[in-house]
Structure 1
Amino acid sequence: MIGRLVGVLAEKHPPYLLVDVNGVGYEVQAPMTSIYQLPAIGEKVTLYTHFSVSENAQQLFAFKDTVDRQLFRHLIKVSGVGPKMALAILSGIETPAFVSAIRSGASEILVKVPGVGKKTAERLVVEMQDRLKDWPHAGGDSVVPPVQAAGPVARQSDMVAEAEAALIALGYKPVEAAKAISRVCQQEQPERSEELIRLALKSMLPG
């Protein structure tokens, strides 16, 4: 079991990352809330991982800390929530906000998370309240994760393509991803693909 990776961030194509650990490249998938906080390509990074094995795939998921990893492990135990949906949930809402919504039974907050419908939100509240009863980390109700200061400006076409690929990997249909990205580009001037993804996710929230 691989529980932690310490190495150099070699590639970043959200939600996929490549981490070079002593010459061995580990491909992992990470939620956007973790990716927003990663250092630049070529810098040292520490990620906490979860190894998932199914009939069709072996996947390694990575998180910025053990708190997010533990929540991911709770999520995939919920009926109807697999690793892909759990990754999408953690990409759309910060861990403290999610825990707060579960504890208060606020399914209406969870419905705002991309990919979570009313029935799924209600099931999450029912099945996770006991598991998170003694959870030590709780906070506000922000659904939009923070973004780091922007780095060098990427080429627009590359940034758009990377953002669309990330949304599709999170479970959105290509048409939905393209429309969301286009809508953001008409209203904002994001300088990094991570920021464009964050704004696109926000634009798909109701109200």
Structure 2
Amino acid sequence: MIARIRGVIVHKSEGHIIIETGGIGYKVRVTDKVINTSLSDQETILYTELIVRQDLLQLFGFSSPIEAELFRLLISVSHIGPQTGLSIINKLSIPEIYSAIFNKKTDVLAKVPGLGKKGAERIILELQNKISDVITEHDITDDESVPMQDALLALISLGYSSDEAERALLTVRKEIDQENSTDIVKKALVELRKK
């Protein structure tokens, strides 16, 4: 299994890059975000998932371990292949994906080309319990606190553990009065930087 690659991007094309490490160039399927934010001829790190099919090996790369883990979750759903999983991550942000699954918002997931309503329903059905483990601690997930849920997911997608994110949100919660998730995340990041 190839879980991470550190190397220099020597080629970018639509939907993939070639990253060279140890004299070997690996063709890696990536999101537009990776293509747009990675600089050619500079060292970069990709978190990867190797997909093995009968006659095909494909390497998928992500900018964070959280994205890679979400990709693994998505492709664990029946009838959701790696290309569809990549398309979901490419089209929606990580907080949007987690929030759509947690709040059963089929219409948000169905926006992804090639997924459709049935695919979105299948993802929600099969991943609902798996992702609730990430975001159901304390009272951050009560129905009146959607901005708090979104803020939690955003902090997790930035690489903070669920415990770190939750502690920061509980600390800043006292200062928050009907704010949107962006403002909540900003205050939580200030709190996290203090540590």
Counterparts of 1:18-57 in structure 2 under 5 Å? 18-38=18-38, 40-57=39-56
In the alignment, structure 1 residue 138 sits paired with structure 2 residue 153: yes
User: 2: distance between equivalents of 1:139 and 1:66?
Assistant: 14
In the alignment, structure 1 residue 104 sits paired with structure 2 residue 119: no
Counterparts of 1:1-207 in structure 2 under 5 Å? 1-38=1-38, 40-135=39-134, 138-139=153-154
User: 2: distance between equivalents of 1:103 and 1:115?
Assistant: 21
User: 2: distance between equivalents of 1:119 and 1:51?
Assistant: 27
**Percent identity, aligned pairs only?**
35
The C-alpha deviation readout for 1:88-136, integer Å capped at 9, x for no partner, is 1111111111001100001111111222201111111111111111225
User: 1: distance between equivalents of 2:7 and 2:21?
Assistant: 5
Higher alpha-carbon deviation: 25-34 or 59-68: 25-34
Gaps of 5+ in 2: 136-151, 156-195
User: Would you say the 8 A contact 2:51–2:59 is kept in 1?
Assistant: yes
User: Would you say the 8 A contact 1:18–1:25 is kept in 2?
Assistant: yes
Alignment coverage as a number of residue pairs: 139
3-state SS in 1 of match to 2:112 = coil
The C-alpha deviation readout for 1:29-66, integer Å capped at 9, x for no partner, is 1122333332x211111101111101121111110010
- Cα RMSD after superposing both structures: 1.6
Gaps of 5+ in 1: 141-207
User: Would you say the 8 A contact 1:33–1:91 is kept in 2?
Assistant: yes
TM-score, scaled to structure 2: 0.67
- Which residue does 2:173 correspond to in 1? none
User: Would you say the 8 A contact 1:100–1:139 is kept in 2?
Assistant: no
